[in-house]
Each structure stands twice: as structure tokens, then as C-alpha cells.
Amino acid sequence: MNKERIETGEKPIERPNYSSFAKYFHWFKLLELVERTDRKEPAIYDFLEKRVFYILTDKGKAEVRTWEDPVREAHPEFG
């Protein structure tokens, strides 16, 4: 897929990283697709924060387009 993108002058798709995941997850929380639970577990290392768990909301289970492009759903004027 990247080979075709490069041939057409498009930017190649890069592998996901923590920053891109965190940005998307932030939108999922803002759009109420997921919600925080009371469940917490210790982190692997003492200096890290406890692990927090989330579940899908009813809206998160029903939505399809919002998962595909959360920013566009929140801001249709960017489309």
C-alpha cells in the first residue's frame, strides 16, 4: 500500500505510536464512546501511574462513523 502511495506522491502511512494512540483515545473519551471504570491495577514499574480501565458506552457500541474519523464527527466544518 505504501509503495502505491509513494508512486502517487502521497505521504506513506507510518506505524502507529503512543502519541497517535493517545490523541485518538482522547477523542473517543470526548465523544463519549468509552468511559472510565473504577478498576485500577498497579503499573509494571513503581514510578508509573496505576493502570486505568475503560469500557465501551452504549453510544460507542452503536456508532460506526465516529470510530473511523472522530475529529471529523466532532468538527464537520473541517470536512
- Write out pLDDT tens, residues 46-63: 999 999 999 999 999 999
Count the residues in the chain. Answer: 79
pLDDT, tens digit, 9 for 90 and up, residues 10-44: 877 777 788 888 998 999 999 999 999 999 999 99
Percent of the chain with pLDDT over 90: 53
Model pLDDT, residue 68 = 87
Supply the mean pLDDT for the chain: 89
* Alpha helices, DSSP H, located in 1-79: 2-7, 18-30, 58-62, 65-68, 70-74
C-alpha span between 70 and 38 (Å, rounded): 25
* pLDDT-based confidence at residue 1 (cuts at 50, 70, 90): low
* Amino acid (one-letter) located at 18: Y
